Amino acid sequence: DADVTQTPRNRITKTGKRIMLECSQTKGHDRMYWYRQDPGLGLRLIYYSFDVKDINKGEISDGYSVSRQAQAKFSLSLESAIPNQTALYFCATSDSLTGSRAFFGQGTRLTVV
């Protein structure tokens, strides 16, 4: 089983709809991250969480919200999806005690039409 699991893997949604992307991990890591990948732009950090009570905005948080339901779960929400949020979204985890190597999920391809 994958250490970092994202659901769904693919999603097509309409403009204005609310959508939630979920991430769960079995690594036991305290830190979790949401990134989006766009062609030519690499990965950009949306939100990150250092523990259950800690949520931080990343580089491009506008239009997104997150919830850290438990140490192992970190969900990303688009309250009202728009077409320029079409992208590949990655969840990642890292362990603050052993360094900042990140483990990534397999990605969620989101298309907003």
Segment lying near other proteins (by CB under 8 A), choices 12-20, 61-69, 73-81, 91-99: 91-99
Instruction: Give the Cα separation of 46 and 76 in Å (integer).
Output: 9
Q: Which of 103, 91, 27, 25 is nearest to 64 (CA)?
A: 91
CB 111, CB 14: distance < 8 Å: no
Least spacing, CB of residue 58 vs other proteins, in Å? 6
Please report whether residue 55 would count as binding other proteins according to CB under 8 A. Answer: no
Smaller CB separation from other proteins, 10 or 84: 10
Please report whether residue 72 would count as binding other proteins according to CB under 8 A. Answer: no
Token pair belonging to 98: 């052993």
Q: Which residues bind other proteins (CB under 8 A)?
A: 33, 35, 40-45, 48, 50, 58, 90, 92, 94, 96, 99-102, 104-107
